[in-house]
């Protein structure tokens, strides 16, 4: 989950920076691409942190729900009916 969030965020930021920095600001190709790659790397790190936090929160909430209901999804005798 963390890797998916990070990759989506970084690809969106790369695209936006490439369009804004390259087409609208009339920068050279190398300037636009290098700035877009830098933004992509930075947003990849931010996305990994956000994804890790979201996964941790989801795991904690699911653990509480499993403890309250007394059901264990890893139990092979439980068929989910």
Instruction: Tell me the pLDDT tens digit for each residue of 32-73.
Output: 899 999 999 999 999 999 999 999 999 999 998 998 888 665
In the chain, where the domains are located: 2-69
Orientation of helix 2-18 relative to helix 29-69, angle to 10°: 150
pTM: 0.70
| Rounded-to-integer distance, Cα 7 and Cα 47, Å | 7
Q: What CA–CA distance (Å, rounded) separates 73 from 42?
A: 37
Give the tokens for residue 64.
């509480």
The candidate with the shortest Cα–Cα distance to 5, out of 45, 38, 32, is 45
């Amino acid at each position: 989950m963390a890797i998916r969030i990070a990759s989506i965020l970084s690809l969106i930021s790369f695209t936006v920076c490439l369009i804004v920095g390259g087409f609208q600001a009339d920068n050279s190709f190398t300037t636009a691409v290098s700035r877009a790659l830098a933004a992509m790397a930075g947003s990849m790190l931010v996305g990994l942190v956000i994804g890790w936090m979201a996964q941790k929160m989801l795991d904690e909430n699911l653990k509480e729900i499993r403890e309250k209901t007394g059901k264990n999804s890893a139990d092979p005798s439980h068929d989910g009916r």
